[in-house]
Structure 1
Amino acid sequence: MLTLLLYVLCAFFLIHDVAAIGQETCVVFQQSSGGSTFPVVQNGAAVPVFVSPDEWPGVQRAASDFVSDIELVTQLKPTLSNVSASGTTVNSSQAIIVGTLGKSSLIDQIVNNTQLDVSSIQGLWESFLGMEVANPLPGVDSAYVIIGSDKRGTIFAMYDLSEQFGVSPWVWWADVVPTQHSELFITSSGCSHGPPTVQIRGIFLNDEQPALTNWAQEKFTNSPGLFKSNGATGTAPPANLTGSPFGIGILFQTLILRLKGNYLWPGLYSFNAFCVDDPLNQPMADLFGIIMGTSHEEPMMRSIPVEWGLFGQGAWDYSTNAAFIYNFWVEGIERAKDYEGLYTVGMRGDGDLPLVGTIAENIGLLEQIITDQRTIFSTIFNTTDVTTIPQVWTLYEEVEGYYDEGLPVPDDIALMWTDDDYGNIRRYPIPSEQNRTGGAGVYYHVASPSDYKWITSTQLSKLYEQMSLAVVRNATRVWVLNVGDLKPYEREIEYWMALGWNASVWTPDNVDDFVTAWAQREFKLDVTDASTVAEIVSNLTRYNALRKPEMLNSTTFSLVNYREAERVVTQWDTLANASTEIYNKLSSDLQPSFFQTVQHPVLASQTLGKMLIFAGENNLRASQAMISANTLADKVQDLFEKDYDLEEEYHSILDGCMMDQTHVGYAYWQQQVNNILTRFFSMPPVNRVQSRKQALPGVLRIVPEGSYGAWPGDDHFDCAQMYNCPPPTVTLDPFNPFGNVYLVLGAGGPVPFTWNATSNATWLEISSTSGSLSTTTQEQKIFLSIPDWSQVSPGSTLAQINFTAVAANQSDLIVPVMVEATNNLGGVPTNFTGFVESLGVVSFEAAHAIRNNSVDGFYWRELPGYGRTLSGITPWPREAVQGNFSAGAGPSLEYDFLLLNNQTNITVVTRLSPSLNAYGSDRPLAFALQVNSEPIQTSYFIPPDVTPGGEPAPWGGLDGFAANVIVSVNMTFNVNPGAQTLKLFMIEPAVVVQKFDIDTGNLQASYLGPTESVFI
């Protein structure tokens, strides 16, 4: 990675002003004419920065970052000096004075001398204020005074200003070039911030092998520690961050603090003998101001499995080895007691698996474990009140089941609720749990050892939806985000931290605003281009969230229905073109950061997505005896190699190994062994046809849209009896969302030929009536449409197209295709407005309701950008979480649609986001539907857990709710043809509806469902 020192040598160009994203802005870059600004750098001079010698060491260290950040932006470095409160005279008319209330004697003296009102932050957690103060010290006429309520409040105040000056929190980790300014000013009224929304906010480096571990082993292998679990920890390069060998953990701590986080779970495997590999790690974390912890399976500040592998004896089983494990925990607390920590309690089985035993046995064992752990706290901290020692119990998987089955947890222990590893929070605090003295929190994944670690696939809109529920349900004591290898989740980590720092500024409507501001700060873009980046990021994560990239296969997206695979390829190409256009606009010093955080994720995802779809098309074309199968096989091979080229390009920029994760041919959660040992993974299987042999039916192959079959020919796709199959038939009606239907004409072998098409219908338009195909031009797509439906008789009309293929030394081949035109315009009432059926389907987005009916202040609100196709809708406001309604009594949305066939019953397929019954087993998620005046139907669409702490039976697996990122609920209603109204009723909050697909007799299989119907 580029070092901070290199940035000093870079040439910078002023593009726009940068502010801390989502926060109050108090930095400007020119002096106010009214004199209401304080100069930081002006006229080639920087004001000095003063701290008290009795200040927290972490604040003094952050102050050194602060003056270095000013230098990065302006090329001028302020002097940083210790100034005592005891009568020191300062020879500077202006200064920046930094300190912590009650710790810095200098700040306390200023408060006393000037009667500065600090009541807004006094005694609060991680709060700060800043303002210009007249005559704060002898010899100082005015100063910008930064006061923190505690150590981190002061630190965050400085990093907040650094970001506003133009230094991104990702200046080191993502090679973000600081914005250059010749002058810096702070408004005299300054910036301030009260307590954060979430008290403890951190990240978890998890399953960091191979990417992060390989990079660390390559870069940092000179640890002074006594042990090295795998050579993965070591010293920070002297040119970076501190100038001292504090260990690689410092790099994370500096990033966390710049993001206004305060908590770290070290890596679980090769990265984690944190307290052993380098004896400076734990004291340095405390010095910096980082609260240390250990993951959900690592109690009492001991690393499992690494430390247990180094020092453990016997089984990791408290029922048989309690004495040794007890002493093992004693050593962990003894080692950590002098430093700030949030202690994980409880216990899981060996290898992060459930304890061995029945539920009742394990509940009893865990009660004993908690009792013994609290005895350890009491003994080592020499206190009878262990409630003063911060503790957390992560209710991960079966542990949540034990709790729900009655496992008692002391009230002062924070309950950390978890997601399902796929970003769906399993449970939130219910009303009886929301006033626990220990509070509650959330452990959440944007990277998971379960199935996805390679590249970003979490929608920020979903992060908002899930975590805003955590806020309103009072799960705000501690948040931990599983970030895998840290990269490439920079943006998601920052948004997570921003929500935890101040959730009140974020709404469903400003998620893209966050990305726009982020793009302006990182890449110096104007608002237009930054908004384009926001759209790119939104689509990148939407497409990857459709199904985790590691879980895609060659038939995930339908190859024949609703042009699904074609639309996905087009979407990826459009996205890649947009990203490349922005990338090419950037100067060479800005391109590395953009490549890491936008361009590579887009191109790599495009490459993988297209490779798998082309593999599916290859197999399909091979089954259809088309020579284009071979070309598709070659494309798959090329994309497979391009995937590696992109990985290497990323590594050449980073000078590291951050994209080593397996992502093709993923078989189980620990699949990365392929990359570690052989750096090879399997290309999706492809087929080939004999390139020199002609297909038995002849030179021409015709594939109608929506069919797996090819004509001429006899197989089960052409007709059920598989011989003497009739010609194919395609259907057109005025309300087809695509406006046409197509035929694929393909070469059935190496022999070149010409073709022509003739029709017996003047009203039918054929996009091309002649052409030639060969081994060079192997396919041609022909579109059929009806420009003027008034030329077609009402009802159903049949036309025929004859395709004639002419090849040398062969008889002409004639292939008929039937076209059925259904003119149903006469069935549309003159006053109708709504969605219209076509080809046996009506489909519409949940956000496209005609009417939104509120009840008691509740209504349905759109979550823009959320979900698979457009957005989601959910009951609002969320603060009234205890409210629910009986079926038909709650707020409703209404959708008008028109049925044009004679179907007397329809199936309404409601597509919902996969959400677990997170408000308790007695409040399962539910919604209700009504069509016209038919009886209201209710669905409690998430079944109960099959086992305590488990997930419902349909949840897991490759075709489960979580993998498919959708829950489909079918309800059948009796109807008559004509205009209809569908009503969606709220029953429970937190339900998110994305889309409705109404099957009127011809809904085809696909992953995303049909495209939205025509609206008139």
Structure 2
Amino acid sequence: MLLLSSVLVLAASGLGVQAIGQTACVSFDQNSTSTQSNSSTSLFSLVSSGEAAPIFLSSDEWPGVQLAASTFASDVEKVTGASPSITNFTSILFANGTDASTTSSPPILVGTLGNSSLIAAVVNNTGLDVSSVEGKWEAFMTAIVDNPLPGLDKAYVIIGADKRGTIFALYDHSEQIGVSPWYWWADVPVTEHIDIFVSPSGCSHGSPTVKYRGLFLNDEAPALTNWAAEKFTNGTGAALTGSPFNHFFYTHLFELLLRLKANFLWPAMWSSAFGVDDSLNQFLADYYGVVMGTSHEEPMMRSIPVEWTLFGNGTWDYDTNQQNVYNFWVEGAERARPFEGVYTVGMRGNGDLALGADTNVALLEQIVSDQRGIFQNVFGNATDVTTIPQAWCLYKEVQGYYESGMTVPDDITLLWTDDNWGNIRRYPIPSERNRTGGAGVYYHYDYVGDPRDYKWIQSTQISKVYEQFSLAVDRQATQIWILNVGDLKPYEMPIEFYTTLAYDSSIFNLNNLNDFVAAWATREFGLDAADATEVASISANMTMMLSRIKPELLNATTFSLVSYREAETVLSAWDTLNQSASRIYESLSSDKQPAFFQLLYHPVQAGYTLTNMWVDAGINNMRAMQARTSANEYAEKTIALFEADYDLELWYHGLLDGKWDQMMSQTHTWYQYWQEPTQNMMPALMRVSTRKPNIAGAMRITPEGTLGTWPGDSPYQCTQGYNCPAPSITITPFSPVSNKYVDVSMGGSIPFTLSVTSNVSWVNISSFDASLTSDNTEQRVFLSVDWDAIGEGNSSAAAVSFNATLPDGMPSYLSPTSYVVLSLVANRTSVLSGFSGFVEGDGAIAIEAAHATRNTSVGEVAWAEIPNYGRTLSGMTPWPRLGNNETNYTAGAGPSLEYDFYNFNTIDESGNITVTINMSPSLNANGDDRPLAIAVQVDSSTPQTSYFIPAADPGDEPDAWGDWVANGTVPVTGNFTAWPGAHTLTLWMIEPAVVVQKVVIDTGGLQQSFLGPPESIKV
């Protein structure tokens, strides 16, 4: 199988293929490949000189294939303007050897092996080798065949191993000719061409990596529900439920799934019932070729709680109401029997809740046994129950029943789940991998629940998806993958990454994830290589910033307003993304802008606007507490951003004459607990009087790194809160930022003229004077040091005076303090000659995990970088994923990462430092007898082993889990001895599947912040 990077090379070559991660066979130039005279090695014309090749099928072909062929013909017409004819032949023609020629142009012959008399005739007539697809699941092949049937000199033959194999082959060609899978769902314009050719090698694909791979519409109100009600109903919805999800809605979704090479669907469940809302829903799913199921809490193809509320008798309790529940399940199986499906078995409480406290393993085993009996009765004794696809989803407490010893029939797929936040709780261990039903994964891009709902805009990193699902592949959890996508939009690109990975995981590796996004950008927007690469960068950085803390979890103090310039650095990064996305948006033609807006520009704008609003609200609150009148300006900015947030929603809803009205209606501000608020609410704001003089003086002085403000008393100036010393700051040459600032502000109604002086010449002052008035209430003064004027290893002090001169005639009693003297200490620290590594600055050392001094492997196992992963840069994880043949190492024996560092201080001059390793939230997916672990060592000290994910009750997470996933990291902290000087910190692999993001060393000056210090200077 080609690596994705190879496929992308083809995409940029003369072949001109538009598909992602597939074998390239389409071109738009007759001279793009070999044009030898031998017909078997020349290009085949799908469309040339305005004439399209006709499409032949047999009348005994699957209906879904007939439909896909018709859609493919429509796609060809959209691309070229030429419309292929479609002819269905009866099997009798081929049986009698009747001449099949009806046109002068060589045709396209489409069919399913074993279900198409047309393809059977071609194989019998030519001896065509179909061994690559015969007996395979959803595989396909194509070939240019000479003399395929009497009367035909040549044909392009498309053969599927089964009905979806044929359907996928057709949609593969649709994508390659220029029709995006998202042409309807995201309004991606069709790429027009005059001619279309296919290469002699043709297109092909073997069986997918994952057998059943699909989506789950969940937590679909208000956005998807309201949109569907507006677009697909007359406002009343289904008769019994009011649901808007009828067959007009679902057929759009079925087509999207198939174009994405997915085959499985859990339908919308809240206030909806797929089999009840529209009598055509189940029939058309099967007609299209989509396998249906029901969610983890909806057994036997029945909607819970909706159908039980409508048709159930008594309580949803198998212990006390067994017969009524049993009858309810029988009806579900009977209704679904004619159609292809995967049945959810087992039982959860009504409304996606846990079962009662009295539920036990024996009762659940009886439930599954009785459900199997229902299958036997409904499908008949001639059917082997073990051949009916069934899945038991080990969601939340259900996993606990399994871990407690519940026996599950071997042919039932064990569907392992994530923690609802993208961290898979468990994978099959070696003893579980010989089950005939195999294993799978249920995963979330969207969630309602603790610690907070997140379902507004995309906040999932594809690097995280790859990290988690590559483990699923290696640990053989590939029978079923089901992805909770909430409202479907706005997760388009990460959905396609997931479906592409599920279809063929072999094309991906740690080095080509950005290539996928660049190829996607090229296909969707027709971007050149440079802009496509920029889109990949925008997407990676956007999702990093939206996933480090979900937008719904943001508040006014998330990012520090005083430490490490964190908040302004975060906003600066958002501003850079916004400028990049805006440039590309504005460069696109008007027909491409709606798609770009939906797929990338809106989430950038929305994330930037929301983050900016919360940061500005925090600055407003802080400056009001500091009695700085500029707080009022940030109140106005916050109000404007709150309105801009809704303007973006209106922009989205107004696209294309309101096609997507309601789709962005999810609330996303001012959560009080996990559940969504009913309305967006603006952050709380404060104002400072601009009419009243400040009793401490007209001028306010706020040094960087403190909430304290001088003159006057403040609890943030010193512990006592009054009679505090004058402010001070320290500057060292190894700080990641080379200067410190002091904010000078108006504190009330009195304007003043500022002058700044120092008693030494080695202090550089950015602004020596300024006039502060109601129109200019703030002046930021940067202080830096001329290090050449200070001897190496010396510490020097300076006094910097901030003086306020009041307007003529202003009584001095209105401003009793007119100057503040700040003490500046300059420590010219230095490292020993020859040292190379990271150096302490401002009392801490921070190192991105990927920037190890040495990366030492053991055998074939080494630490590898996952790019664009986590909160700040990337992650480091042992590779291959299974580590040491699925066994662990003892501390000090496994692969290691070493970081050389130099410190000047220790905590309280004790010789001690604190090391914090920021790990990604991951669970003990090998089972609680194999908890995740890492060992940390400083110099030659004994490695300290940390089993950093505590065991929890079966089916539950550790107590601190909510905080860890909310903050995107699990801190692993240890104390070590490291007197000032050069040292080496070593991380030892013990268990596979851990991911390290960042190392932070506190030498006595670590400040509180969300992301930690910026990376230290390396010499």
Please report the TM-score for the alignment, with normalisation by the length of structure 2.
0.94
Q: Which residue in the other structure is 1:64 paired with?
A: 70
Is 2:486 the partner of 1:487?
A: no
Distance 2:256 2:802 in 1: 65
Distance 1:952 1:65 in 2: 50
1:514 to 513, 516, 520: 516
Distance 1:519 1:633 in 2: 38
Is residue 144–residue 188 contact of structure 1 (8 Å, CA) maintained in 2?
A: no
Distance 2:693 2:895 in 1: 63
Q: Which residue in the other structure is 1:845 paired with?
A: 848
Structure 1 residues 442-494: Cα deviation after superposition (integer angstroms, max 9, x where no partner): 00001112210000000010000001100000000000000000000001110
Is residue 224–residue 278 contact of structure 1 (8 Å, CA) maintained in 2?
A: no
- Name the SS of the counterpart of 1:329 in structure 2: helix
Is 2:927 the partner of 1:914?
A: no
Structure 1 residues 733-763: Cα deviation after superposition (integer angstroms, max 9, x where no partner): 1101011111111111232221011101111
Instruction: Give how far 1:793 is off.
Output: 6.1
Q: Which residue in the other structure is 2:615 paired with?
A: 613
Structure 1 residues 775-832: Cα deviation after superposition (integer angstroms, max 9, x where no partner): 211212111111334434632211001011112114471111110000112xx11111
Instruction: Give how far 1:671 is off.
Output: 2.0
Structure 2 residues not aligned, in runs of 5+:
1-12, 37-41
- Name the SS of the counterpart of 1:441 in structure 2: strand
Letter in 2 for 1:182: I
Letter in 1 for 2:844: V
Letter in 2 for 1:258: R
Is 2:55 the partner of 1:49?
A: yes
Distance 1:701 1:416 in 2: 61
Taking the TM superposition and a 5 Å limit, the aligned residue runs for 1:945-960 are 945=952, 947-956=953-962, 960=963
Taking the TM superposition and a 5 Å limit, the aligned residue runs for 1:820-859 are 820-825=825-830, 828-859=831-862
Instruction: Give how far 1:635 is off.
Output: 0.8
Tell me the matched-pair count.
977
Q: Which residue in the other structure is 1:243 paired with?
A: none
1:182 to 194, 218, 221: 194
Taking the TM superposition and a 5 Å limit, the aligned residue runs for 1:464-479 are 464-479=466-481
Is residue 905–residue 979 contact of structure 2 (8 Å, CA) maintained in 1?
A: no
Q: Which residue in the other structure is 1:121 paired with?
A: 133
- Name the SS of the counterpart of 1:137 in structure 2: coil
Q: Which residue in the other structure is 2:946 paired with?
A: 939
Is 2:356 the partner of 1:356?
A: yes
Instruction: Give how far 1:226 is off.
Output: 7.1
Is 2:868 the partner of 1:865?
A: yes
Taking the TM superposition and a 5 Å limit, the aligned residue runs for 1:613-762 are 613-653=615-655, 654-655=658-659, 656-671=661-676, 674=678, 680-762=679-761
Distance 2:632 2:237 in 1: 57
1:587 to 585, 589, 613: 589
Is 2:998 the partner of 1:995?
A: yes
Is 2:100 the partner of 1:89?
A: yes
Structure 1 residues 909-959: Cα deviation after superposition (integer angstroms, max 9, x where no partner): 0000000001111110001111111111100000001x2211011102xxx
Instruction: Give how far 1:88 is off.
Output: 3.9
Q: Which residue in the other structure is 2:328 paired with?
A: 328
Letter in 2 for 1:754: T
Letter in 1 for 2:756: A
- Name the SS of the counterpart of 2:975 in structure 1: strand
Structure 2 CA distance for partners of 1:53 and 1:225, relative to 1, 3 Å: farther
Structure 1 residues 69-115: Cα deviation after superposition (integer angstroms, max 9, x where no partner): 11111111111111342414313341111100010000011011111
Is residue 635–residue 685 contact of structure 2 (8 Å, CA) maintained in 1?
A: yes
Structure 1 residues 194-232: Cα deviation after superposition (integer angstroms, max 9, x where no partner): 000000001000010000000111111159997341241
Distance 2:350 2:273 in 1: 17
- Name the SS of the counterpart of 2:484 in structure 1: strand
Letter in 2 for 1:64: S
Structure 1 residues 947-1002: Cα deviation after superposition (integer angstroms, max 9, x where no partner): 2211011102xxx1111110001111112221101111100000000000000111
- Name the SS of the counterpart of 2:47 in structure 1: strand
1:132 to 144, 152, 157: 144
Distance 1:753 1:76 in 2: 76
Greater displacement, 481-490 / 35-44: 35-44
Distance 2:716 2:620 in 1: 17
Structure 1 residues 135-177: Cα deviation after superposition (integer angstroms, max 9, x where no partner): 1122221111000000000000010111010100000000010
Structure 1 residues 868-923: Cα deviation after superposition (integer angstroms, max 9, x where no partner): 00000000111455131011000111110011235411111000000000111111
Q: Which residue in the other structure is 2:766 paired with?
A: 767
- Name the SS of the counterpart of 2:493 in structure 1: helix
Q: Which residue in the other structure is 2:1011 paired with?
A: 1008
Q: Which residue in the other structure is 2:9 paired with?
A: none
- Name the SS of the counterpart of 2:321 in structure 1: helix
Q: Which residue in the other structure is 1:241 paired with?
A: none
Letter in 2 for 1:892: S
Is residue 630–residue 689 contact of structure 1 (8 Å, CA) maintained in 2?
A: yes
Instruction: Give how far 1:300 is off.
Output: 0.1
- Name the SS of the counterpart of 2:478 in structure 1: coil
Greater displacement, 331-340 / 652-661: 652-661
Letter in 1 for 2:233: T
Q: Which residue in the other structure is 1:443 paired with?
A: 442
Structure 1 residues 166-194: Cα deviation after superposition (integer angstroms, max 9, x where no partner): 10000000001011111111101101000
Letter in 2 for 1:49: I
Is residue 860–residue 893 contact of structure 1 (8 Å, CA) maintained in 2?
A: yes
Q: Which residue in the other structure is 2:276 paired with?
A: 276
Distance 2:550 2:111 in 1: 47
Distance 1:928 1:485 in 2: 42
Distance 1:503 1:989 in 2: 20
Q: Which residue in the other structure is 1:813 paired with?
A: 818
Is residue 615–residue 633 contact of structure 1 (8 Å, CA) maintained in 2?
A: yes
Letter in 1 for 2:636: D
Q: Which residue in the other structure is 1:382 paired with?
A: 380
Q: Which residue in the other structure is 1:304 paired with?
A: 304
Is residue 762–residue 789 contact of structure 2 (8 Å, CA) maintained in 1?
A: no
Distance 1:571 1:638 in 2: 20
Q: Which residue in the other structure is 1:80 paired with?
A: 86
Greater displacement, 618-627 / 900-909: 900-909
Instruction: Give how far 1:510 is off.
Output: 1.0
Is residue 125–residue 149 contact of structure 1 (8 Å, CA) maintained in 2?
A: yes
Please report the TM-score for the alignment, with normalisation by the length of structure 1.
0.95
Distance 2:65 2:236 in 1: 26
Instruction: Give how far 1:669 is off.
Output: 4.2
Letter in 2 for 1:343: Y
Seq. identity, %: 56
Is 2:396 the partner of 1:397?
A: yes
2:222 to 207, 210, 228: 210
- Name the SS of the counterpart of 2:846 in structure 1: strand
Q: Which residue in the other structure is 1:252 paired with?
A: 253
Letter in 2 for 1:129: M
Structure 1 residues not aligned, in runs of 5+:
1-13, 235-245, 675-679
Is residue 18–residue 520 contact of structure 1 (8 Å, CA) maintained in 2?
A: no
Distance 1:147 1:477 in 2: 24
1:366 to 342, 352, 364: 364
Greater displacement, 33-42 / 192-201: 33-42
Is residue 455–residue 486 contact of structure 2 (8 Å, CA) maintained in 1?
A: yes
Is 2:212 the partner of 1:200?
A: yes
Is residue 913–residue 965 contact of structure 1 (8 Å, CA) maintained in 2?
A: yes
Instruction: Give how far 1:764 is off.
Output: 1.1
Letter in 1 for 2:894: G
Letter in 2 for 1:410: P
Is 2:931 the partner of 1:924?
A: yes
